[in-house]
Structure 1
């Protein structure tokens, strides 16, 4: 049976949204439903519910809340983080449960026993090697002690903890967590857009008189890029972890290397950009009643910074896009913008040299600004990026080969040892015969 076409107000509303450039609500809902944050939220909820249901079957407690608590702690956003931190999380929860059992048997829950259980949990957490999850020992102990103080049912908390841990681990192994590459790519593109905005502001204001306060404000914006880079680095680390041990990703190493080297390039460029804004600020302090540069020099520098802004954005598109037509077009635009920026930079350098020969005021600031432009152009260079990718891939291949060589050497050593052991027992058998 065919589905009849949509008519009436629903279709009219959808057409109106399209005419106004607004997204379809259903399309937006489906797209948001595929985002890693939404997927991880649903996965954590399902894991907690499943752990609670299993605990109801296996535990004697009427409300085994420790099982879903443990499942929530174990289910991580990536499979790699689950396997690397899951054991420590389980260890912290079990330690907290055991501490709560001891206190429930001895003293129960009072104001002074609460303080004592927190102190004991934090101290014991240092000795059971739970790493950064020491506070979770105290949290688990407080929650368990608050839920029940009956000594006969306290050991059910250990069973619930193990149930939650097993469910959480199996949930992440059987249902692989989402890949967080897209949020990391969006964070990198957002960083590039902020750098482009700063470069465009420099290009717009370099031709006229620049007050010191205005130049200092641009310097402050450039310094804030450091905080943005920290956030992007955190998103990229999460993306790298989501690519490790993920069976749905075929070229995880390549994705990690491309994004990491790309962020390193943008980070270096942001540092150089901050130094360039400091140079312009120092120049503005020296020229409070005149323009920073003559009109012809300012026009050339304005064109240089404009092409640098476009090159930064094209570079971000290149490293965040897969091998598609968009990536090829972005790489072509990047090459064109860099070539034009170099040509314009050389023209501006000639004009600055002529000006310095006539009026050598603040010549060192002029040279510093040209050097900073050269550094950004060098960092964004396509050939340098390709060389860096090859070096990182070769380094990863060597590390992987070294690990395999160690394992192969160990296997050969064990085989020779077994062979020698078998040879030493054979003569004794012949002698006995």
Structure 2
């Protein structure tokens, strides 16, 4: 490869990495801390106002919602700690026993003002302020520096808006669906022949490891949900969050059922010993059915992650067709199993369990079931918001925002059907 092409490839890789969470967090945190320090040098009476960049560094998060909530809690924690220190300096001063009382009082106040993970910051601020002779001077300087750091951290998200992490969450969901598909295909291939129970148990362990994948997808989805909150660039943020969350819930149920199916295969392999896992015609039908369901799982993930503003009819039509085909194959499998049971087959309970489990996956992926689940989730979120902040709901109704949401909800329901 020529040298120019190598540099071009490296530059493209670097540009693709600019949206990664670690890169974004590093650059934005460094910029916010530097700006906060420069401003604090001019406004704070301290010669080295390091509290301002420290606050900015702790406040700036990947999403605007996290930055806002962390900024408010951190300012509350510092102010509470300073007030506790001033009170102790007026009453007892600094001794070993007053320090112990200060820490206990600061932690108690931190829990009372609900600063969550910044409870320890209340005690730290109180000890730093109480440990100097000019308490009033240092307390005022620490409050000023904290406010500077918090304001700069929140302003950083306005001037350097964080990315919306929906695409990353969507990629994680699709990646999970493809891993489920690969496992289903391997299990289907093995169902058509004779496998030792140890090999079937290995597939069971693979199904169990999908739980770790789900936790990673859930973390990516939580980040995407935070990036949609209080983001003026995003319309229909609630609908995006609910669609992705219900989609992940469905895939999680499918992985649980797949794990139960792998357990049934393992028990059946132990029971049948040296015989094939299923009789010939039944094994071939099971392989075909798992292949069709595997394709439907991926189509479901593509449908869930498709932008609501785009035309999702093709993805929905493909999923509907695949589920219809899988249901027909399932019915053929049911007929074969019924004939096998009438002929006096052994281990019919385990074979019947396989039929029950694949039926559950087909039902979970059904578009009507998904639409009903989505509506229930939207109704629940709407009720929780009305109960928590009724004044916000009244404002939304006056501005017509709630009507727009319900129109979009109805339109989405029509597309899902």
Normalising by structure 1, report the TM-score. 0.79
Contact 2:300/2:319 (<8 A) preserved? yes
- Indicate whether 1:154 and 2:138 are aligned: yes
Question: 1:372 & 1:40 partners in 2: Cα distance?
Answer: 43
Query: SS at 1:154's partner residue?
Result: helix
How big is each residue's C-alpha offset from its partner over 1:338-368, in whole Å with a ceiling of 9 and x where there is no partner?
2222222222222111111113322121111
Contact 2:221/2:245 (<8 A) preserved? yes
* More deviation, 164-173/231-240: 164-173
Query: SS at 1:53's partner residue?
Result: helix
Contact 1:121/1:138 (<8 A) preserved? yes
Question: 1:126 & 1:324 partners in 2: Cα distance?
Answer: 43
Structure 1 residue 371 displacement after superposition? 0.9
| 1:217 counterpart residue number | 202
| 1:431 counterpart residue number | none
- Indicate whether 1:33 and 2:18 are aligned: yes
Structure 1 residue 395 displacement after superposition? 5.2
Structure 1 residue 311 displacement after superposition? 1.3
Query: SS at 1:282's partner residue?
Result: helix
Cα–Cα, structure 1 residues 306 and 113, in superposed 2: closer, same or farther, change >3 Å? farther
How big is each residue's C-alpha offset from its partner over 1:142-186, in whole Å with a ceiling of 9 and x where there is no partner?
7x479x846365222222112212222333355443212122112
| 1:136 counterpart residue number | 121
Cα–Cα, structure 1 residues 13 and 40, in superposed 2: closer, same or farther, change >3 Å? closer
Contact 1:40/1:178 (<8 A) preserved? no
Structure 1 residue 283 displacement after superposition? 1.3
Question: 2:382 & 2:113 partners in 1: Cα distance?
Answer: 36
Cα–Cα, structure 1 residues 313 and 136, in superposed 2: closer, same or farther, change >3 Å? farther
Match of 1:272 among 249, 252, 257: 257
Gap regions ≥5 residues in structure 2: 399-417
* More deviation, 41-50/371-380: 41-50
Contact 1:219/1:281 (<8 A) preserved? yes
- Indicate whether 1:71 and 2:30 are aligned: no
| 1:258 counterpart residue number | 243
Match of 2:295 among 297, 307, 310: 310
| 1:340 counterpart residue number | 325
| 2:413 counterpart residue number | none
Instruction: Trace 1:115-194 onto structure 2 (pairs within 5 A).
Output: 121-138=106-123, 144=128, 149=132, 151=134, 154-155=138-139, 156-173=141-158, 175-194=160-179
* More deviation, 266-275/204-213: 204-213
Contact 1:44/1:72 (<8 A) preserved? yes
* More deviation, 88-97/362-371: 88-97
| 1:430 counterpart residue number | none
Count of matched residue pairs: 391
Structure 1 residue 208 displacement after superposition? 2.1
Structure 1 residue 249 displacement after superposition? 0.5
Contact 2:19/2:163 (<8 A) preserved? no
Match of 1:296 among 263, 269, 281: 281
Task: Name the larger-Rg structure.
Answer: 1
Match of 1:354 among 319, 336, 339: 339
Cα–Cα, structure 1 residues 107 and 114, in superposed 2: closer, same or farther, change >3 Å? closer
How big is each residue's C-alpha offset from its partner over 1:186-239, in whole Å with a ceiling of 9 and x where there is no partner?
221222122112211211211222322222222222222223223322321221
Question: 1:29 & 1:405 partners in 2: Cα distance?
Answer: 43
Cα–Cα, structure 1 residues 330 and 62, in superposed 2: closer, same or farther, change >3 Å? same
- Indicate whether 1:319 and 2:304 are aligned: yes
* More deviation, 89-98/176-185: 89-98
Match of 1:331 among 305, 316, 326: 316
Structure 1 residue 374 displacement after superposition? 0.6
- Indicate whether 1:226 and 2:211 are aligned: yes
- Indicate whether 1:235 and 2:223 are aligned: no
| 2:182 counterpart residue number | 197
Structure 1 residue 53 displacement after superposition? 0.9
Question: 2:378 & 2:111 partners in 1: Cα distance?
Answer: 38
Structure 1 residue 401 displacement after superposition? 7.4
Structure 1 residue 61 displacement after superposition? 1.7
Cα–Cα, structure 1 residues 164 and 315, in superposed 2: closer, same or farther, change >3 Å? same
Gap regions ≥5 residues in structure 1: 1-7, 15-22, 412-433
Match of 2:231 among 246, 254, 257: 246
Structure 1 residue 77 displacement after superposition? 2.6
Contact 2:40/2:145 (<8 A) preserved? yes
Structure 1 residue 378 displacement after superposition? 0.9
- Indicate whether 1:84 and 2:57 are aligned: no
Question: 2:237 & 2:157 partners in 1: Cα distance?
Answer: 18
